[in-house]
Structure 1
């Protein structure tokens, strides 16, 4: 009994020694004060980023998660569960976008910190007040915006929450270096910006899928030196008129996909996807009605990308991918596929196998 009491007191004192009260500004400029590293955390979005920055040990202190975004990438989720089965036991808190997010569940888990994406925070509205009145510190991060500033800020915030500030700084510096390298080469080359169109290919060849304006793939393609044809017509994401795609006549087309899709002609990319099958799916887009007149199709400049590789600190490799697709001579030395896998090998406990970037 005495021994147990001593252990309890030591553990309590140790937690006081290692946890310091800090105040951070999140990506919305909100001041949030909490004890860092946080001892009980709910990860509302970006679960893989949280592990990459905080290390796998950060999940020892995760008490809840919006697990659906991870499970949507089923092969990726299964890879992590195989490595760390306890991930399956972390309680799910629901989804903001389907109005199944449970404030009551979050409160019952008694977290110190709730990490939310910008869009989640805004979508919860007055529920944020209910969470904060329960003593929960809400910190907003944002990789969806796909800006250098928010990628770096979000990474630094997760570093503070998990007590991995040095690791976060290294990851942020790597990302910044990639962006600056691409910008310098583009400036030195001083070439006209090629027109680029990106489409999420889950619906297949027969149905035009979502495209992206100033965030996600739209922002990545612009950051990589492209003239995004969707930007004048779509603010965030949405569908273009099929005739508009043809009239815009993109020089480069990128079709993104997950490991699964809606039909037999859906674009497939990602873990466990065979290169031959992915290439076959991408080839199918050449036969889409009206596309034979598009410059990208005529010049065989169709590309595939893994949809799960954007809105994340891992997407520096995708900036390289777009840059190489649009300016092959300027970026001929880059290997975006290997860069993507190298991030896993350096910062994550498991490395996927499959196809994540593709060029016809």
Structure 2
């Protein structure tokens, strides 16, 4: 067949098409990639929950391999999905790029139509990308980590093409854009002073400063929501601040994030199966850090908890609401970020999460 060029700003293929045809897309790195769509044998390198939300549960009928660790790092979330769809556990694993266990040989043996990788995975693989392409496997790159509106929308539409769910993808992308526009239009109209905000992945617990974020992930979300991220001058993507830097910046708002499990009894935990009382207790514990009793956020009790699994995903529109409300409680008093997070699941995913995904003191 002659390749068909797909403009991601205006997807032309009807989502009801049941047969595959050659398409050429421009991925997030502006690479031209041609493959049969909808793809029938896919390896999902990252963003597994997004793949299901956009492509529907049926998209996993065509997933022949995946890098499972990012899903299994959220153990209760993973278990929730496996209980609903046991076949997920049977999908072969392909290893991890960041720990150098990623197996090109395994992927080739799965005979996929394409592999979908995160931008950071693609860049970390180096020459292994050529090995995949030389084996006739198209490599498509998407990116939710950068946490920009353009890349969130483009990645969503790419997954829509891969799965044959272009209309659904467009709807999800439009909803994300509308949510962000609503928040930013209010901020522009109100023209209030920007509060300073510090976000930390709290898995290390009270006694060790954990990772914070510069211009991506939670750092970008806090900026989108109208905050001044205190980590931005010192951390480009992610890294740790010196404790004295936090004290000197004296943030107005502190957000601690966590998964369902941590590294000890003082770790911040959030997510599926975590009761709010426990989450609040862990959050309260961070007040005991050396010097933190002097911080404005601590003295004013403006400390918040968020689920780390709700970041770098098309689901994170609710987290932009969360930050906006934390930093501007009067301006966004009508928002319910927890309900927004749950509503996305009701509309686009086959499971119902139960736990604590946002909290505050």
> TM-score, normalization: structure 1?
0.95
1:31 matched residue in structure 2: 32
Q: Residue in 2 aligned with 1:262?
A: 263
What is the SS of the residue equivalent to 2:43? strand
Matches within 5 A, 1:281-360: 281-360=282-361
Which residue number in structure 1 is paired with residue 11 of structure 2? none
Q: Which residue of 1 aligns with 2:92?
A: 91
Residues of 2 paired with 1:59 and 1:178: CA distance?
A: 28
Deviations 1:322-344 (A, max 9, x none): 00000001100000001001100
Shift of 1:212: 0.3
Residue 61 of structure 1: CA displacement?
0.3
Name segments (4+ residues, structure 1) moved above 6 Å: none
Residues 28-51 of structure 1 show CA distances to partners (whole Å, capped at 9, x for unaligned) of 000001111011000000000000
Distance 1:356 1:262 in 2: 19
Q: For residues 18 and 183 of structure 1, what CA distance do their matches in structure 2 show?
A: 41
- Separation in 1, partners of 2:291, 2:109: 55
Distance 1:92 1:359, change over 3 A: same
Write out per-residue CA displacement over residues 118-172 of structure 1, whole angstroms, 9 at most, x where no aligned residue: 0000000001000001000100000000000000000000000000000000000
- Structure label with greater radius of gyration: 1
Q: CA deviation at 1:18?
A: 1.0
- Cα distance in 2 for partners of 1:192, 1:62 equals 48
> How far, CA to CA, are the matches of 1:105 and 1:204 in structure 2?
37
The CA RMSD over aligned residues, in Å, is 0.8
Which residue in the other structure is 1:211 paired with?
Answer: 212
Q: Which whole-Å CA distance do the structure 2 matches of 1:274 and 1:349 have between them?
A: 22
Partner of 2:4: none
User: SS of 1:18's equivalent?
Assistant: coil
Q: Which has the higher helix share?
A: 1
SS of the residue 2:129 aligns to:
helix
Kindly state the Cα deviation for residue 17 of structure 1 after the two structures are TM-superposed. 6.9
- Partner Cα separation in structure 2 for residue 277 and residue 62 of structure 1: 36
**Residues 17/225 of structure 1: CA separation in 2 closer, same or farther (3 Å cut):** closer
Pairing 1:1-360 to 2, within 5 Å after superposition = 18-360=19-361
> Secondary structure of 2:177's partner?
helix
CA distance, structure 2, for counterparts of residue 20 and residue 350 of structure 1 = 31
Correspondence for 1:7: none
Q: 2:247 and 2:279 mapped to 1: Cα distance?
A: 24
Distance (Å, rounded) in 1 between the aligned partners of 2:285 and 2:148: 32
In 1, Cα distance between the equivalents of 2:346 and 2:180? 21
What is the DSSP-based 3-state SS (H/G/I as helix, E as strand, rest coil) of the residue aligned with 2:83?
helix
Q: Distance in 2 between matches of 1:323 and 1:244?
A: 24
TM-superposed CA distance for 1:93, in Å, is: 0.3
Q: Distance in 2 between matches of 1:197 and 1:284?
A: 16
Q: Give the SS at the match of 1:268.
A: coil
Structure 1 position 20, deviation (Å):
1.4
Post-superposition Cα deviations, 1:44-103, rounded to whole Å, max 9, x if no partner, equal 000000000000000000000001111110000000000000001100000000000000
Matched residues in 2 for 1:283 and 1:19: separation? 54
List alignment gaps of at least 5 residues for structure 2.
1-16
Give the superposition deviation at 1:291.
0.6
